[in-house]
Structure formats: C-alpha cells, structure tokens
Amino acid sequence: MTLETVLARIDADLPAATERLLDLLRIPSISTDPAFADHCQTAADWLVADLGSLGIAAEKRETPGHPMVVGHVDGPEGAPHVLFYGHYDVQPVDPLELWDRDPFDPAIEETEAGAVIRGRGSSDDKGQLMTFVEACRAWKAVHGALPCRITFFFEGEEESGSPSLVPFMQENAAELKSDLALICDTGLFQSKTPAIITQLRGLLGEEITITGPNKDLHSGMYGGVAMNPIRVLSRIIASLHDETGRITVPGFYDGVPDLDEDLAAQWQALAFDHATFLGDVGLSEPAGEQDRTPLEMIWSRPTCEVNGIQGGYTGAGFKTVLPSVASAKISFRLVGTQDPLAIRESFREMVRAMVPGDCEVSFAEHGAGPASQMSVSHPAFEAARRALGAEWGEAAAFAGCGGSIPIAGHFKEILGTDAMLVGFGKDDDQIHSPNEKYDMESFHKGIRSWARILDAMT
C-alpha cells in the first residue's frame, strides 16, 4: 500500500474529520478565564478519548493549571521518534458583539475565496492540531499501524502564558525526549506558499516609570522650573534609534548574525510584496534599519518598539498639568545569540544615565526569552520541504518568523530536541479576533501534508 492510498483515505474521510473538528471547537476551552476551567478539562478529556480511538495510549496529566495530554505509540524497529505538540486552549471571544455567529457554535461557511471553518480556535490551534491527528488516523486505517514512534503532547495554557509548561517538561523530560519535535501553530507565507519556520525571534519586555514631583503640578505655576517626567521619558524614547533606524542600546547587536547567503537568496525568491503588506494597514515606508530588506527586518533582525505610553492627563478636553509620573512599555525582539538579560541591564544603565537628579526611575520586567534557531541540517527538514512542495504545488520555503513561539526554545533547552514548525494558517484567519476561521483548504491539505511528511521522514 502506497502513500497515494493514505491520501485517498484522507480525501474520503474529510467530512467525518471535519465533524470531529467541529465537535472539538464546540468546547469553550478559554484558558485565561477561571470560569472556563471545567471546559478546559473537557477538551483534554476529548483529546484523550480521540487518541484512544486510534489505539494510542493517552492520558490527561494534571498540573497546577490546566491539564496536559500525553500519548505514546510505538513504531517499527529503527524508525525515528517524533513528538507532536499542539494546544487545545483558545483565546477569549470578546468583544462578542463583533462576531457574526456564536464563537462556540462553529460551522462551515462559503465565502468568495472558498469554504471556511468559522469558530474560535478553528485556526489557533485546534484546526492545526487536528491536521496531524487526522493524518495519523488515515495512516492507521490504511496500514494498521503508524509509521514511526510518536509522542503526542498537547497543553491547555498556551494562550495564558504556559505557566505549567516548563515545570512539566522538566519533570517529564525523559518521557518527552524525541528525535524531533513537530509543531503546527504557524502559517503559509503570504497565505499561499508552504513554509517551514527555521528561526523565531526572542522577546524582552521592559516597563520604565519616571517619577518627578511628589504630585501633579499646575503647569503655569511650575512649568519651566520643575522637571517634567514626560519630557524625560520622551528624550529616552527618542534616543533608542538613530536616524537610520539602528538601535542605540550599548552592546545591543552582540550576537546578531549576518543572514546566510543561501537563505537570503531563498527569501529573495519569495518576492515579498512589502508595499501591499504595509499598504493593508495604511502605511508605505519601511521604518527599520535602512540597509536591510523588509523581509529581513521582520524575520532576522532585532527590534525595539514602544508598546504604550502613559502620563499626565489623557481624558477628554484639556488640563494644564505637569505630571508626577510617566511610564512606557518597551519590547525588544531578539535574534541569533542575543542575551536578553545582558540587553536588559544595558538598557537600564542607558536609561539611568539619562534621568536627571530631580527624577527617579524604576523598572518592571515583563519576560525575557532568547531567539530560537533550528538546524536545517537534520534530514527531516529537507524531506518535509519536498513533501510540502509536492502537496501545495510550489516549493516550500525555509522561512523566519517575526513573532516568538517559546515552546520551540523549550524543546531545545530542556529536551535537547530540535523543533520543526509547519503550519497552514492564512494571514486573514483572524486569530485572537472576532470571526476566527480556518480555510477548508488549509485543513484538508494540512492533513495530506502531514501524511506526506510522515512518509518522507520514514
């Protein structure tokens, strides 16, 4: 029996696979809201039962938060051992009034671009998770067994910061260790080109608060003679970039690698349309380092961004106040081997040096994680790239990702396992927003893609 037999089984079983996904989507497994804790338990139970129906020894593992689901199945002698990770929790649905239907009453809808699965979690991440499970279901139905040893690892706190994840992985490292980890929580490049994410930016979050006078002051009485914390804060923020867009924090670029020539050529061949990318959000000019391409700016260069500013009077009308306090939230996206803790200290020293004697500065940290770089020298990467190209009809790309997916780094740091990120989401899936959807094409071809990848790796 050949791969084509498995693919035919996937095609024939698509209606039933879709109904299973809709069933899972009906469970409101919102991890951030304690009111939905029982529903997270229900979602975990559903997955345990579904894996069990495939002959996979699966169980729900309790944590201080929402449970993990862990399942194991043996494969042929000498076959690789892969771990597949996904998350069954979803984002809150607010604002509910902007949904066109009940977010937990999912349905297939016809749109101008084709059929979509509409509902919370359809793309992030239940629909993506189930592409792999359904590929395994079809393989088992055709062959009677799976092609390799597989560990299934699903968590229920990804959307709330994964507080239980690292302790669980550390306590169960021997059980979870594998030859390669597979993650399905990403998307197609520009919604059409299959992609394997090989690098993820790290993230450092800092909040700075400047305090001046011991109370808000009348700007007519004190303006000019009293130091204004917003003025101090503005000077600090303005100093973080030079006129070319380069970040000025001392030592910031330590550990930032140049882009590999082969990878740069592959990215160039993607013909990224930055004018449309920016035009869709009402912009036109790339604002990062001026000696880099837009795609480099997003995927392989570090950033410093101000995410929020607060201080003084911000209500309706006008109030001539000289504020006592001003604050800003600042995030850094990191690449290569940049050290987030070293950058944090360098940033703080830079800020302290700019604060005048009549003001004080305090800092609050909001997470720190390094970048993740996956080695494509593992033969599974090239095998998966060929498999994806065969399914989607165009060459798959080794792509970067501007965001941060901490689980990939945890696999490397805790388990010593490289991760391969393959996903089928599209740019307009509206994840985390009202009316989230997952294209039927993404679901169907995603299942077929995983079957091809399993075949290519084994």
Q: What is the predicted pLDDT for the residue at 378? A: 87
**DSSP-assigned states of every residue in 151-199:** EEEEES-GGGT-TTHHHHHHHTHHHH--SEEEE---B-BTTTB-EEEEE
Residue 458 · residue 9 · CB < 8 Å: no
Average pLDDT over the chain reads 95
Query: What is the Cα–Cα distance from 93 to 103, expressed in whole angstroms?
Result: 7
Best CA proximity match to 457, nearest among 138, 153, 78: 78
Q: Residues of the chain with pLDDT > 70: what percent?
A: 100
Q: What is the predicted pLDDT for the residue at 170? A: 98
- Mean per-residue pLDDT for 50-63? 97
Higher model confidence: residue 199 or residue 6? 6
379 Cβ neighbours under 8 A, 6+ residues apart: none
Residue 70 · residue 175 · CB < 8 Å: yes
Ordered domains of the chain (ranges, CATH): 3-200+371-457 (3.40.630.10), 202-256+302-369 (3.30.70.360)
Q: What is the predicted pLDDT for the residue at 405? A: 85
Partners of 322 in beta bridges: 217
Q: What is the predicted pLDDT for the residue at 66? A: 98
Query: What is the Cα–Cα distance from 366 to 330, expressed in whole angstroms?
Result: 9
Residue 391 · residue 449 · CB < 8 Å: yes
Query: What is the Cα–Cα distance from 442 to 191, expressed in whole angstroms?
Result: 10
Query: What is the Cα–Cα distance from 360 to 391, expressed in whole angstroms?
Result: 59
Mode of pairing for the β-strands spanning 114-118 and 321-322: unpaired
Q: What is the predicted pLDDT for the residue at 11? A: 98
Q: What is the predicted pLDDT for the residue at 235? A: 98
Q: What is the predicted pLDDT for the residue at 239? A: 98
Query: What is the Cα–Cα distance from 63 to 181, expressed in whole angstroms?
Result: 22
**Quick one: CA dihedral 393, 395, 400, 406, positive or negative?**
positive
Tell me: the pLDDT tens digits for 305-326?
999 999 999 999 999 999 999 9
| Strand stretches in 34-148, DSSP E | 57-61, 68-73, 81-87, 107-111, 114-118
Q: What are phi and psi of 423, to 5 degrees?
A: -140, 165
Residue 322 · residue 213 · CB < 8 Å: yes
* CA-to-CA separations, 110 to 182, 326, 391, in angstroms, rounded: 31, 49, 23
**Quick one: CA dihedral 400, 404, 408, 410, positive or negative?**
positive
Residue 282 · residue 275 · CB < 8 Å: no
Q: If pLDDT is split at 50, 70 and 90, which confidence band does 346 have?
A: very high
- 450 φψ region: left (φ > 0), alpha (ψ -120 to 50), beta (else): alpha
Q: Which amino acid is at 339?
A: D
Share in percent of the chain as helix, strand, coil (round to 5): 35, 25, 40
Residue 234 has pLDDT above 90, yes or no: yes
Q: What are phi and psi of 144, to 5 degrees?
A: 85, -10
Q: What is the predicted pLDDT for the residue at 263? A: 87
Best CA proximity match to 179, nearest among 80, 113, 91: 80
Measured between alpha carbons, how far apart are the two ends of the chain, in Å? 15
Query: What is the Cα–Cα distance from 210 to 222, expressed in whole angstroms?
Result: 18
Tell me: the pLDDT tens digits for 163-204?
999 999 999 999 999 999 999 999 999 999 999 999 899 999
Q: What are phi and psi of 370, to 5 degrees?
A: -75, 170
- What length does the chain have? 458
- The gap from C-alpha 281 to its chain's centroid, in whole angstroms, comes to 21
What is the SS3 assignment for 145? coil
Residue 421 has pLDDT above 70, yes or no: yes
Tell me: the pLDDT tens digits for 73-119?
999 999 999 999 999 999 999 999 999 999 999 999 999 999 999 99
Best CA proximity match to 347, nearest among 240, 234, 210: 240
Task: Give the pTM.
Answer: 0.86
Q: If pLDDT is split at 50, 70 and 90, which confidence band does 1 have?
A: low
Residue 412 · residue 419 · CB < 8 Å: yes
